[in-house]
């Protein structure tokens, strides 16, 4: 059930995009993400920081896409999200000496400290890689 809640906004976006275009798809994505966050809040009685960031980015970039009628904004949203995640994890671990990944997932996983550090570094690399790949696709490929 949880996996369905996690993926239904993106599935609805791609369905709406395929049949109605990027602007209807963007509106569907925005509405579905708001509904998704309401469901998560109803189940967990809270939203994690990542949920709040995702919701804010979808609403800001979606609004810019619709108001300015420019699809570049919604295409850059994943790049900004992944880059922000990579930067936040890196700054937290290397400047503040805190492992945000452990803070977020520590209640669900029990791992030794070196494993948490490796996992955090892998997530930094993954997020940076995804940001770069999405930036390339957004910049050089058509909608």
* DSSP characters over 112-132: -HHHHHHHHHHHHHHHHHHHH
Give CA–CA dist 119/105, Å, rounded: 11
% residues pLDDT > 70 (the chain): 99
Q: How confident is the model at residue 119 (pLDDT cuts 50, 70, 90)?
A: very high
Name the 3-class secondary structure at 143.
Answer: coil
Q: How confident is the model at residue 130 (pLDDT cuts 50, 70, 90)?
A: very high
Mean pLDDT of 120-135: 96
Per-residue pLDDT at 47 exceeds 80: yes
Per-residue pLDDT at 1 exceeds 80: no
The answer to whether the CB of 104 falls within 8 A of the CB of 46 is no
| Phi, psi dihedrals of residue 77, rounded to the nearest 5° | -55, -45
């Amino acid at each position: 059930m949880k996996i369905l809640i996690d993926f239904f906004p993106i599935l609805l976006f791609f369905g709406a995009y395929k049949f109605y275009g990027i602007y209807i798809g963007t509106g569907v994505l925005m509405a579905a993400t708001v509904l998704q966050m309401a469901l998560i809040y109803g189940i967990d009685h809270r939203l994690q920081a990542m949920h709040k960031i995702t919701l804010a980015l979808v609403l800001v970039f979606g609004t810019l896409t619709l108001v300015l009628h420019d699809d570049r904004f919604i295409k850059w949203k994943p790049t900004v999200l992944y880059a922000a995640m990579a930067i936040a994890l890196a700054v937290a671990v290397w400047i503040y000496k805190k492992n945000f990944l452990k803070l977020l997932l520590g209640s669900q996983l029990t791992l030794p400290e070196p494993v948490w550090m490796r996992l955090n570094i892998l997530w930094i690399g993954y997020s940076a890689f995804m940001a770069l790949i999405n930036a390339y696709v957004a910049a050089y490929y058509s909608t």
